[in-house]
């Protein structure tokens, strides 16, 4: 899948019933396209089923996930488990990824819910309208990404040449389950609530380094039926995401 031509629509904050850019919509009601760029906006949500403030951010990210040109990913973290409910999607590696952003974004601590956009800006918590505005702003930022292309065999991905950031970059594969999943929380702050999550991440696999030259990487073979995979080219030093694509 080539990622050139990702489109960010101005209708990010419209009611969920309106499909952005759908050919079934009359021309007058279709959301106005304000920017097109060659890389998607990556929205990463760090959340926890035991976090009282997280369901609202979950809903905002689920709405954003429906927008063309956005790759939305949800990571469960485990540091709220002590409240009485062990998060069913959490892995220690996901909290480590969040802590890496804490360092690169110069934050005092990690917290949930937290949304990180393109690895370069963050929101502590998220409401749908605020997240939509942040995505539009990020989409307007000029980018010159290395091209990402999956091979027809499905087992490898190519990253094209480009300007590598200082310190180099790494290529990572994020394995996730597309769509919504609902978990009924039986204890802790969200006891009795059915908490929705979208595009829940199961694993993050480092594929190798990218130094600015074209390179080919082998994709992980651990995907289960129904799972999808996103490949990111990410700066090692400041954690900026240079480009991403979904297989």
Q: Please give the C-alpha separations between residue 36 and each of 9, 20, 69, 141, 153, in angstroms, as whole numbers.
A: 9, 14, 9, 10, 29
**Which residues, other chains included, contact 173 with Cβ-Cβ below 8 Å and sequence gap of 6+?**
157, 204, 205, 207, 219, 220, 229, 230, 231
Contact yes or no for 234/146 (Cβ under 8 A): no
Domains and their CATH numbers in the chain: 6-246 (3.40.30.10)
Residue 12: is its pLDDT beyond 60? Answer: no
36 pLDDT band, cuts 50/70/90, is low
The DSSP symbol for 103 reads H
Predicted TM-score (pTM) of the model is 0.86
Enumerate the β-bridge partners of residue 244: 232
Tokens of 99: 């802590």
219 secondary structure, DSSP code: P
Mean pLDDT value of segment 12-39 = 40
**Rounded distance between C-alpha atoms, residue 164 and residue 234, angstroms:** 10
Residue-level pLDDT at 17: 37
- Of 28 and 67, more confident: 67
For the cut 90, the answer to whether the pLDDT of residue 85 exceeds it is yes
How far, in Å, CA of 195 to CA of 23, rounded?
32
Give the bridge partners for 8, in sequence order: 35
Strand ranges inside the chain, DSSP E: 6-9, 33-37, 41-47, 70-76, 114-117, 121-124, 148-150, 156-159, 169-184, 194-210, 215-218, 228-235, 241-246
Q: Residues 28, 78: contact at Cβ < 8 Å?
A: no
How do residues 110-163 score in pLDDT, each as one tens digit? 999 999 999 999 998 888 999 999 999 999 999 999 999 999 999 999 999 999
Q: Is 201 helix (H, G, I), strand (E, B) or coil?
A: strand
The CA distance from 12 to 20, in Å, is 8
170-194: average pLDDT: 96
In this prediction, residue 5 carries a pLDDT of: 38
Q: What is the mean pLDDT of residues 167-195?
A: 96
């Amino acid at each position: 899948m080539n990622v050139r031509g990702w489109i960010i629509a101005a209708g990010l904050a419209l009611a969920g019933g309106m499909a952005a850019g759908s050919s079934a919509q009359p021309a007058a009601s279709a959301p106005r396209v304000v920017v097109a760029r060659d890389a998607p906006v990556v929205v990463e949500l760090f959340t926890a089923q035991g976090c009282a403030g997280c369901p609202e951010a979950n809903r905002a990210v689920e709405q954003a996930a429906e927008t063309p040109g956005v790759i939305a990913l949800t990571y469960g973290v485990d540091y709220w488990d002590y409240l009485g409910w062990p998060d069913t999607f959490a892995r220690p590696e996901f909290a480590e990824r969040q802590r890496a952003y804490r360092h690169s974004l110069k934050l005092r601590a990690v917290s949930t819910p937290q949304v990180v956009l393109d690895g370069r800006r963050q929101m502590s918590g998220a409401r749908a309208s605020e997240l939509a505005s942040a995505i539009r702003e990020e989409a307007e930022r000029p980018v010159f990404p290395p091209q990402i292309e999956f091979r027809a065999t499905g087992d490898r991905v190519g990253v094209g040449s480009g300007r590598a950031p200082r310190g180099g970059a790494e290529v990572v594969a994020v394995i996730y389950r597309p769509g919504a999943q609902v978990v009924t929380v039986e204890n802790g702050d969200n006891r009795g609530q059915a908490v929705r999550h979208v595009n829940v991440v199961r694993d993050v696999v480092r594929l190798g380094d990218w130094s600015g030259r074209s390179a080919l990487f082998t994709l992980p073979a651990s995907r289960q039926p129904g799972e999808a995979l996103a490949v990111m080219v990410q700066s090692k030093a400041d954690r900026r995401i240079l480009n991403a694509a979904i297989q």
